[in-house]
Structure 1
Amino acid sequence: MKLIKDLFAYIDALPPRTLVIRTIYLVASAAAVMVLCASLITRKILSDIPSADKLDEYTPSLTTYVYDINDQVVAEFSQEKRANLTLNSIPIDMRNAVVAMEDKDFFRHWGISPQGIARALLRDLMHTRAAQGGSTITQQLSRNIFLKPEKTIARKIKEIVLALQIESNFSKQEILQLYLNQIYFGAGNRYGVQSAAKFYFGKDVRELNLAECALLAGIIPNPERFSPFSNPDKARLRRYLVLERMLAERYITQKEMDDANKEPFPTERFTLLSSHAPYFVEYLRQQLEPKYGAAQLWKGGLKIYTTLDLAMQIPAEDIMEKYLVKYDSDSIKARQAAEGDEPSVSSGALQGAFVILDVKTGAVKAMIGGRNYQSSKFNRVTQAARQAGSTFKPFVWMAAIQNGYTPATIIDDSPMAYYYDGKDWRLLEGATDQYSISNAIQPFAGNKDFKIWVPSDFDGKFLGSITLRRALELSRNLASIYLVTRIGPTQVVDVAHKAGVKRNLEAVPSIGLGTSLVSPMEMVSAFSTFANGGIHVEPFGVLKVVDNQGKILEEHVPDEQETFTPQTSYLLVNMMKGVVQRGTGSYAGRLKRPIAGKTGTSQDSKDMWFIGMTPDLVAGAWMGYDDMTSLAMKDWTGGGTVLPWWTEIMESVLKEQPIRDFPVPEGVVFVTVDPETGKLALPNCKKKLLDAFVKGTEPTVFCDANH
């Protein structure tokens, strides 16, 4: 200030002529300096400005959508929730509302508004920093796409220059389209009018009425402050202001404005992200992200069409949780009675898993990997390694069928024991009852290195001679070990692998009791091979992936492998139907349709299973604790716990499905047998059973009338 005062004092002291010359000189010099400085500053500011031509190459971050089999949105992958629309896809009221509120002269100016810039500069000078305001739609677009969100005069200059460049390279329609797809609407990182319409109104932007368009246009300057959910009064005022502007610009009539102002406000937040099937969505992500890369999956606007059926998934989730809450409580109470008030497991720790596959294609129709995805992202359908228990027995029975056994073959359900010789487990010869077993192991009682295994059944009974069919229906452990001993555990392992089990399995006698570790997905996939006439198809979840230009990136091609003959597969399935009709799976009989299946309970009741199938669908259910803790209820079995909720789920799933029986392949014949002896039934037999056989293997001897 002192320098300026001294300068004016010096000028005042000069003679008039000299004063005029000196003043002109000083003013010219000052102007030259200012122009030079302005030029240098402008050059510095504009040195790193991007070219507006790049707008042609600009690809916004787009939302990837996951659809179920009926094109319902299941989930979305996104960093910014956005959809790209053409201008013609956006209703005229939406376009007019935004133009009226944000830039009424949009179709008349050439990128900038001199009056708006002047007002903004005046505010900037008063605040010494750049303030928001005075920007045209084109300026906002240039700022949102190319510039950092800082409020400085330098950024304002860049914004103006870019706006001028954009206007000279793009039409008004192209600019408005880009803007309407780019503008930020808050609400969890939502961009563009389509994403906003989905969130605020739960509908496509094409379906918005005038009042809804006005509301969206009104919240653009500050979506959080003007949100109809958090600040309905402010949002209502903003809607009124937009309608008022639209009226002033003659976009609408007074009556249209009055009617729109009477429209109700949104009160419910809509979201595209389904709370259902999170384990299935993660199952897909783990497959697709390595294939397409994180950038394309999360920002590429893909459309992923899947095999999931929400009509099956949603009731399955609800029903499973209902039952697990009950069993969780019962298990806790049992532990409290045995351990005191502080049981060794916490409430809510009991877990479950459920999956449905299409028999013919392997398509995953429903998948529940656990009770709460937010608490545990571990997918028990695909990642768990659990003992299968008796659900493993069908592999033993298939191996037996391949070795010439028929459903009527008599096998032995009697006591036996095995000892370990340091290399293999061997049958203890002569150990045919409890007394002989006790005598045989007595000499080794004090030998710590001596290992003996005495298998038993759940009920502690021995049924002696029994048909192959009846042994499966009653899930007899000793009969299963009998078969493994005679066939060899290696053949059982081979059958399991051919059917669809991927994991390494130990070829030991106990494999007949399901002691090997498997996942529910492996087991259900393997069972589907039997239901599919011996043809194995890999489970899959993705039908088709389409990019944001409509190009198909991938489409599922089924890979079928014939692993068993249709005849042997049918025999096994027919025996598994007996499990539901007369055996441990009889609870599923209330579905009143042909169901084949197998119950399972693992060692120490750590795992409960049921896997069942129709000619079209195969579904598996599992229940247990993640840490392998016993369920602490000695009378619990897969048939008594898991089967009821499996049945209730399938009752919902199958209610619209036609009732069909498993097709009988050529080469299978039916004869009436005595179910106790497996021989041909006489007319006066008390019990008769129409049983299936591969042609040429059916029994030829009649039963003894006195049996």
Structure 2
Amino acid sequence: MVEYHTRMERRRAAEAEKTEKRKNIKPAKKKSGGKKHWVKRTFILLLLVFLFLILAGTIFVFAVIGKAPELKANALHNEISSVLYDQNDKKATDVDSGEHRMYTDIDNIPKSIQDAYIATEDVRFYKHIGIDPIRIMGAGVAQFTKGYKSEGASTITQQVVRNAMLTQNKTFTRKIQEMYLAIQLEKSYTKKQILEFYLNQIYLGGGPTYGVAAASERYFGKNVKNVTLDQAAMLAAMTRNPGYYDPIKHPDRAKTRRDLVLDLMVHNHAISSEEAAKAKTVSMKQMTKGHRKIKVSNRKYGAFLDFVRKELVEDKKVITEQEFNSGGLKIYTTLDPEIQNQAQDVLNNKQNFPVVQKNFNAGVSVIDTQTGAIRALGGGRNYTYLMNNNRSYKTAGSGNVGSTAKPIMDYGPAIDYLQWPTDYQVDDTPDVKYSWGKKINDFDNRFLGSMTMRRALYLSRNVPALQTFQKVDQAKGTGSIRTFAKKLGIPSETLKKAWRKLFNWWRRIQFQPARNVRRLCCLWQ
């Protein structure tokens, strides 16, 4: 033991001992503590990023849901052609866009059809809440194993809302809205009702044809209630690609697909193996022997229908284009079928104006001058609905008015200023010239001689009209004709309004092609 003799020596010994202890501390312990601190900071950072992504994703989802369309009952039903009624509230014609659609209650759709679609399209239909998490996970795996968009996860409920209210584009936004609306649909309707919506709205091939009832008529020539098991499986088989699996055009591939559906029905315990085997023996030719081409509804009164559509959809914007064509509306109009048929017969008769068959065009507007009700419209020879991009000769607002001006520019001023009666004699004779020297003639290059002013107007003869104009001009001056026309609102108003004023002598009446439109839930008038 060392003996320290002074205080100073003891202090130096203590300091030396402390220095030795500090030298013996290992630096590895310090490094270990720093590594743990770095791992902790990284974990916290990743956690914050994860929470931020969840928050941002939630905000995005709610924003997309907020823009989702409202779940409307009328949109869920299969589109049904609207109907036009005449002035006596009798059906005049269907408004038809050329699609073959029929709506059938679920109780009238055989269970074999229901089972075939469930086995093929949504095997857990009666178990999920509108979306199927198991199917979603399966589709997610398929995205990586088979490629992007290779497999869908849509349930029957999702397909209903997509077909009724959304687009067919495969986008993330649409998918979010589709899933949200599917859950809402399940809350509002029973599974039975949802399946009814689906089976009535699905696209099933050319025509185009929508719904199993319409498809049964088209492919099998029978009411959907009488469909057999093999036919039920065929309807479900076509849903994936109706054109590719068309049993009439492509029987081989259609049979392969139909038999697969029968196997799925066996797997889903909807039918027995024996029933499936028996159904598979039915050939495509035998199965579709009753098929027939469905004719598009006879859309009569095309020009009148056109004008009503323009008034309600474009001008007054009372209803949409889709509602007009296939909203199941009852549209009550001022149409007089007898007069309308007469107008169409005159326009379509090739014996009228035989020398201008190739380029013949004309228009007719028959209006009740006391009420303004439009009784008939003719848009041209053999005019059909939506012909000429909604521009027909009966309502065209521009272009040469032609002989329509004769009562306003010729005979009207003669009656008003010269006091001519309608049986006043005028001449249809040759050698009559315009003021600039050119001879005038008619389309038939004939001259009919003396006739009443009424007959000249009825036959739309050009020579008597010009002679009448010239006599008014000589007696009262050109300014008088302008004054007469101005009273009728020309050119500031349309020619139709001028005609109305002519026959009502300044009485104002608003033209009316439609009286009211009835929906299932409301009335427009």
TM interval, short-chain normalised: 0.5 to 0.7
AA partner of residue 84 (structure 2): Y
1:289 maps to what in 2?
313
> 8 Å contact 1:387–1:518 — kept in the other structure?
no
1:73 corresponds, among 67, 78, 94, to: 94
Greater helix content: 2
Match of 1:607 in 2: none
1:542 has 2:477 as partner? no
Q: Secondary structure at the match of 1:286?
A: helix
Other-structure match for 1:658: none
Matched, 1:388 2:411: no
State the partner residue of 1:363: 374
Structure 1: runs of 5+ lacking an equivalent: 1-30, 330-347, 421-450, 506-516, 555-707
Distance 2:422 2:441 in 1: 23
List aligned pairs for 1:51-66, cutoff 5 A: 57-58=71-72, 60=75, 65=82
Deviation at 1:480, TM superposition (A): 3.7
1:364-418 C-alpha deviation (Å, 9 max, x unpaired):
4342246787667642222243331896399737964998766787899999999
Q: Deviations over 1:527-556 (max 9, x none)?
A: 9x59xx999976543243234x342212xx
On the 8 A contact 1:414/1:462 being kept in 2, the answer is: yes
Decide whether the 8 Å contact of 2:238 with 2:246 is kept in 1: yes
Equivalent residue for 2:361? Answer: 352
- Is residue 217–residue 292 contact of structure 2 (8 Å, CA) maintained in 1? no
After superposition, the Cα gap between the structure-2 partners of 1:537 and 1:292, relative to the gap in structure 1 and judged at 3 Å, is: closer
- How far apart are the structure 2 equivalents of 1:87 and 1:37? 52
- Which digits, 9 at most, give the CA deviation of each residue in 1:470-514, with x for residues without a partner? 98899782874587466888888898899xx76449xxxxxxxxx
**Residues 1:73 and 1:494: Cα distance change in structure 2 (over 3 Å):** farther
TM-superposed deviation, 1:353:
1.2
Contact 2:94 2:298 in 1 (8 A): yes
Matches within 5 A, 1:616-695: none
Query: How many pairs are equivalent?
Result: 446
Measured in 2, the distance between the counterparts of 1:309 and 1:462 equals 37
Q: Distance in 2 between matches of 1:390 and 1:534?
A: 17
Written as runs of structure 1 = structure 2, the 5 A alignment for 1:201-600 is 209-210=226-227, 215-228=234-247, 231-235=250-254, 238=257, 249=270, 262-264=287-289, 266=291, 268=293, 270-271=295-296, 274=299, 279-293=303-317, 296-298=320-322, 301=327, 303=329, 304-306=331-333, 307=335, 309=337, 316=344, 320=348, 322=350, 327-328=355-356, 348=358, 350-355=359-364, 357=366, 362-369=373-380, 378-383=391-396, 384-388=399-403, 392=407, 396=411, 400=415, 477=464, 480=468, 484=472, 503-504=490-491, 540-547=512-519, 549-554=520-525
**Structure with bigger RCO (C-alpha 8 Å, 6+ apart):** 2
* Conserved 8 A contact 1:369-1:379: yes
1:107 corresponds to: 126
Shift of 1:172: 1.8
Q: Partners in 2 of 1:324 and 1:238 — Cα distance?
A: 57
1:176 Cα offset (Å): 2.8
Aligned equivalents of 1:328, 1:408: Cα separation in 2: 30
Q: Is the 8 A contact 2:347 2:378 kept in 1?
A: no
**Cα deviations by residue, 1:4-63 (Å, 9 ceiling, x for unpaired):** xxxxxxxxxxxxxxxxxxxxxxxxxxx999999998877665553355997863474967
Amino acid at match of 1:107: Y
Q: What is the identity, as a one-letter code, of the residue corresponding to 1:327?
A: V
Residue 146 of structure 1 deviates from its aligned partner by: 6.6
Give the whole-Å Cα distance in 2 for the aligned partners of 1:316 and 1:207: 38
Structure 1 counterpart of 2:146 = 127
**Partner Cα separation in structure 2 for residue 158 and residue 381 of structure 1:** 45
Structure-1 separation of matches of 2:135 and 2:223: 32
**Which whole-Å CA distance do the structure 2 matches of 1:63 and 1:105 have between them?**
30
State how far apart, in whole Å, the 1-side matches of 2:353 and 2:427 are.
40
Shift of the 96–534 alpha-carbon distance from structure 1 to 2, 3 Å rule, reads farther
Deviations 1:276-321 (A, max 9, x none): 6655444334322344549823457363444375996699479737
Q: Percent identity?
A: 21
The 3 A distance-change label for structure 1 pair 168 and 359 is: closer
Aligned to 1:175, the other structure's residue is in SS state: helix
Instruction: Please state whether the residue corresponding to 1:283 is helix, strand or coil.
Output: helix
**Which protein shows a greater Rg?**
2
SS at match of 2:361: strand
In the TM superposition, 1:86-235 aligns within 5 A as 91-92=109-110, 95-111=114-130, 116=135, 119-127=138-146, 129-133=148-152, 135-141=154-160, 149-150=169-170, 167=186, 170-180=189-199, 183-185=202-204, 187=206, 197=215, 200=218, 209-210=226-227, 215-228=234-247, 231-235=250-254
Classify 1:254/1:75 alpha carbon distance in 2 versus 1 (closer, same or farther; 3 Å): same
Summarize deviations over 1:114-156 as a string: whole Å, max 9, x none: 764565455444225453145432354466667984388x998
What is the TM-score with the length of structure 2 in the denominator?
Answer: 0.57
CA 1:453/1:526 → structure 2, altered by over 3 Å: closer, same or farther? farther
Write the letter of the residue equivalent to 2:195: L
Provide the C-alpha distance between the structure 1 equivalents of 2:395 and 2:142, rounded to a whole number of angstroms: 61
TM-score (norm. length: structure 1): 0.45
Cα deviation 1:174-225 (Å, max 9, x = unaligned): 433454465455658876667x65995799x986642676554332222332
Does residue 58 of structure 2 align to residue 49 of structure 1? no
For residues 273 and 351 of structure 1, what CA distance do their matches in structure 2 show? 24
CA positional deviation for 1:468: 7.4
* Aligned-partner Cα distance in 2 for 1:356–1:180: 44
In structure 2, runs of 5+ residues without a counterpart are 1-42
* Letter in structure 1 aligned against 2:60: D
Specify whether residues 89 and 139 from structure 1 end up closer, same or farther in structure 2 by C-alpha distance, changes over 3 A only: same
Distance 1:160 1:462 in 2: 79
Q: For the structure 1 residues 472 and 210, does the alpha-carbon distance in structure 2 shift closer, same or farther, using more than 3 Å as the test?
A: closer
Distance 2:354 2:456 in 1: 32
What is the distance in 2 between the residues matched to 1:148 and 1:468?
63
Residue type of the partner of 2:517?
A: V
The 2-side partners of 1:150 and 1:308 are apart by 48
Question: What SS does structure 1 have at the residue aligned with 2:240?
Answer: coil
More strand as a share of residues:
1
